[in-house]
Amino acid sequence: MSEAVPTPRSSWWARGLRDPLVHFLLAGAALFILHALFNRADLGGPPQQITISAGRVAQLQESFRLIANRPPSAQELSALVDDFVREEIAYREAVAIGLDQDDTIIRRRLRQKLEFTMEDISAVDEPTEADLVDWLAAHPDRYQRPERRALMQALASGDRRGADADAAARGFITALAAGADPLGVGDPSLLPRAIPLTTRDGVRAIFGDAFAAAAFEAPAGDWLGPVRSPFGAHAVRIVSVEPPETPPFSDLRDQLREDWIAARRDEMRTAAAERLRSRYQVKIDWPDGLDPAGPQAGAGAAAKAGALQ
């Protein structure tokens, strides 16, 4: 087998990595970073001061208590404070040499902390009773309990009867309509014979989509079917129907309050973000074909600039 002929690019990299000058430059860069990291105080200027406030110490103490279910000893608290000092020093030194730049995780975390700060500054007043009544009137579907149905079923097993399952289910319906005991009709299975008042999602979780759709469209009263499911064919009787309803206001008050406050905070956060955004001019150089404004905005890498509000 003949040896692969190195490409010009791979030859260039190979020659570069063997060049002593490249080694010298890489070693120099590493030494510069290490020197800047560990000897910044020697480059001029007084040592930086780190102050650990009493509030910070209390916070460290409380965090330990929540985790260990007991207050820290004097030695443990001293170790917590010392670890926080090391963390603060590492943070400052990392920022000083630019390690925080172009880091997606750090950017997202800082954005999250800024949004939390804006929420704390924009305290939301407690809603009045009228506020909650208006909120419920504006969002009735959010608090409406879905329709629920109680039913009974008798299974003609698809595994046992195969293509004859539908015919067997029709025979079950005839027998049940004539007064047969529902507990004595149908093939044995682990499926429940009777389902109490349950939502469509609850029925779907047991019998599948097709069965739930048929059960929630059928009238209450007589046995009907066959209704298909992944298990076979069923004779089904809708025992009772509880229509959708909105619970009393007194039952919803706490949930309404939480939702109202959350919505106000979202509005304040959005307004604060828009105020901050209005202070910046944003220029976007879209690659070919990716400009959301379409070809009318110009062919190629169109530059879009403007104050976004």
E strand spans, the chain: 148-157, 194-199, 223-229, 232-242, 281-285, 303-307
pLDDT of residue 297: 47
pLDDT of residue 285: 75
Other beta carbons within 10 Å of 233: 24
Residue 36 corresponds to which tokens in the numbers above?
């800047």
pLDDT of residue 140: 87
Separation CA 34–CA 97 (nearest Å): 10
Q: What is the pTM of this model?
A: 0.47
pLDDT of residue 179: 87
Residue 274 corresponds to which tokens in the numbers above?
């828009």
- The mean pLDDT values, 10 residues at a time, for the chain of 309 residues are 50 58 60 55 63 86 91 89 85 79 80 72 76 90 90 92 91 90 89 93 93 92 91 94 88 90 84 79 72 56 40
Those residues with Cβ within 8 angstroms of residue 94's Cβ, 6 or more apart along the chain or in another chain: 100
pLDDT of residue 301: 39
**Domains of the chain, CATH where assigned:** 19-40+47-101 (no CATH), 114-144+249-277 (no CATH), 145-242 (3.10.50.40), 281-309 (no CATH)
